[in-house]
Amino acid sequence: MAGFRYDAKTEEFKKVFLLGGNLIVEASNAAVAMSAKKGVDAGRANIAGAGFSRRWQNSLRFKMVTPKNSLKPVAYVHTTINYADIFETGGDIHGDPWIWLPLPSVPRGRGRPHMTPSQYVKNVGPLIKLRRPGKAPILAAVIRRGSKAQPFGKFATRGQLKRGVKGRGKQVAIPLFVGVHSVHVSKKWDVTGALRRETEKMPQYYQDELRRLDAQKLLQGASG
């Protein structure tokens, strides 16, 4: 059996080496998480600057996809709105077969300037389709109102839309949505650019975190 000799200096070196390795791993993971968080903050500011609501801003988020103190830390930045990419790149959206665009007569929706057709049916009332030969179809609401009840032509109050054909007055159709086969959406924001700029700062985040951890370990050693 081979002999075993304990060398205090060697063991102390091992401890210092392992401690240094742990600090590097911990600092690397913290730097990746910090870069992702700062990137999300910058991306949200970019989305806000484009005029999108807080719902859109908060849809951008991140999570660490590797375990704690991983040797190869990875953060995943994503949005919870699956069609948000079109505002990052711009491009054409095609209907199946129609995309229903809101007219100014559509009431406001929750967290958005206009309701969608499905939101309207759920919260206000039914819609009918008006087919117009050679022209785009229209989704409209049928209501009753007096000739002096609303002076704005093809507009109606939310209360009138909610009542629909109930009550007295002339029955009229209020156009709410117009159908198109496709629409072009221009680029609205540059979240990718914001994330890239924060990624370039990752070495600085790593150095800052390493210094913080070094100071923390020194304090623990002094108090131990």
pLDDT per position as a tens digit, 70-123: 989 999 999 999 999 999 999 999 998 999 999 988 887 776 778 899 988 988
Tokens of 45: 């500011």
* Position 1 in a domain: no
Q: What is the pLDDT of residue 177?
A: 94
* Position 139 in a domain: yes
Q: What is the pLDDT of residue 194?
A: 94
Q: Which domain holds residue 111?
A: 93-184
Burial track 124-139 (b if 16+ CB lie within 10 A, e otherwise): bbebeeeeeeeeebbb
Q: What is the pLDDT of residue 3?
A: 37
Q: Which single residue is written with the structure tokens 């000799």? A: 5
Task: Report the distance separating Cα 170 and Cα 142, nearest Å.
Answer: 10
Which stretches in the chain have pLDDT values below 50?
Answer: 1-19, 149-153, 222
Q: What is the pLDDT of residue 51?
A: 93
Q: What is the pLDDT of residue 144?
A: 79
Structurally, the chain folds into a number of domains equal to 2
Q: What is the pLDDT of residue 154?
A: 56
- 146 and 75, same structural domain? no
- 152 and 177, same structural domain? yes
Q: What is the pLDDT of residue 218?
A: 54
* Position 2 in a domain: no
- For residue 180, what is the enclosing H or E element? strand 170-185
The answer to whether 180 touches 98, Cβ cutoff 8 Å, is yes
